[in-house]
Amino acid sequence: NPQDIVTGVKNRIRVYPDFPKKGILFYDIFPLFQTPSLLNDVVRLFVQRLQPSDTSNEQQAIDVVVGLDSRGFLFGPSLANHLDASFVPIRKKGKLPGEKYSVSYSLEYGVDALEIQADSIKSGQRVVIVDDLMATGGTMSAACKLVQQLGGIIKECQCVIELTGLKGVEKLPDGVPSYSIVQYE
Ligand code: PRP
Ligand code: MG
């Protein structure tokens, strides 16, 4: 039952005021990983959103799961495995070798950049992007731009947690759907 999974996740997430800085309410998802069955349920919720109603329709299958450095890497490979899709990382700048695309995004103070390897997604491939949490949406919207630059078709942006008060979803490119398992104001 999806509602039981949501409750289970909420019970496992730990909330830390003033971490890593004063004024920031930090949502720690690592305790989820101490309950393997719950983690499995989370990934299955993500998968359910993506499976075509007609499972024989190969045209609708997801080709690539993109995970965001670093906590998106905790979910991306298992999701990709369940979908029989590839896994591709988007990393913070300076971590990936070879030819790559780069997009800058704003942080609380200043800017940083995210990068993807140029040959990791082929034009027309169907992509899902996964991360642990959406706050301002800066990270996720930068990731969307990178995927779209490579010609990927984003079927959904998926997060375990969404901080709805920050309206990150509104930053995503037009027409890109998003899904989160638990929401906090
Ligand atoms: C956190 C979180 C998301 C992002 C959300 O990552 O894991 O990726 O912030 O914030 P936003 O919606 O305002 O962009 P962080 O950059 O702290 O790094 P980490 O995943 O490497 O811990
Ligand atoms: Mg992150």
| Pocket lining for ligand 1, CB < 6 angstroms | 68-71, 131-140, 168
Q: pLDDT at position 56, please?
A: 65
Domain ranges, ordered by start, for the chain: 54-184
Query: With a cut of 0.85, is the ipTM above it?
Result: yes
Nearest CA to ligand 1 atom 3: 133
pLDDT at 151 over 90: yes
Question: What Cα–Cα distance (Å) separates residue 42 from each residue in 87, 108, 111, 117?
Answer: 18, 29, 31, 28
Q: pLDDT at position 54, please?
A: 67
Active site residues: 71, 108
Read off the pLDDT of each residue in 4-31 and give the average, rounded to a whole number: 96
Question: pLDDT of 72-82, one tens digit each?
Answer: 999 999 999 99
64/87 Cα distance (integer angstroms)? 6
C-alpha of residue 72 to centroid of ligand 1, in Å: 9
Q: Which atom of ligand 1 is nearest to the CA of 163?
A: 12
pLDDT band at 155 (very low <50, low <70, confident <90, very high): very high
C-alpha of residue 56 to centroid of ligand 2, in Å: 35
Question: pLDDT of 96-145, one tens digit each?
Answer: 999 999 999 988 778 899 999 999 999 999 999 999 999 999 999 999 99
Question: pLDDT of 36-73, one tens digit each?
Answer: 999 999 999 999 999 877 666 666 899 999 999 999 99
Q: Which atom of ligand 1 is nearest to the CA of 134?
A: 12
pLDDT at 170 over 80: yes
Q: pLDDT at position 150, please?
A: 98
- Residue 88 is which amino acid? V
175/156 Cα distance (integer angstroms)? 10
Read off the pLDDT of each residue in 2-15 and give the average, rounded to a whole number: 96
Nearest CA to ligand 1 atom 10: 135
pLDDT at 172 over 70: yes
Phi and psi dihedrals of 81, rounded to 5? -60, -45
pTM given for the model: 0.96
Phi and psi dihedrals of 26, rounded to 5? -95, 125
Q: Which atom of ligand 1 is nearest to the CA of 139?
A: 14
Fold topology of 54-184 = Rossmann fold (3.40.50)
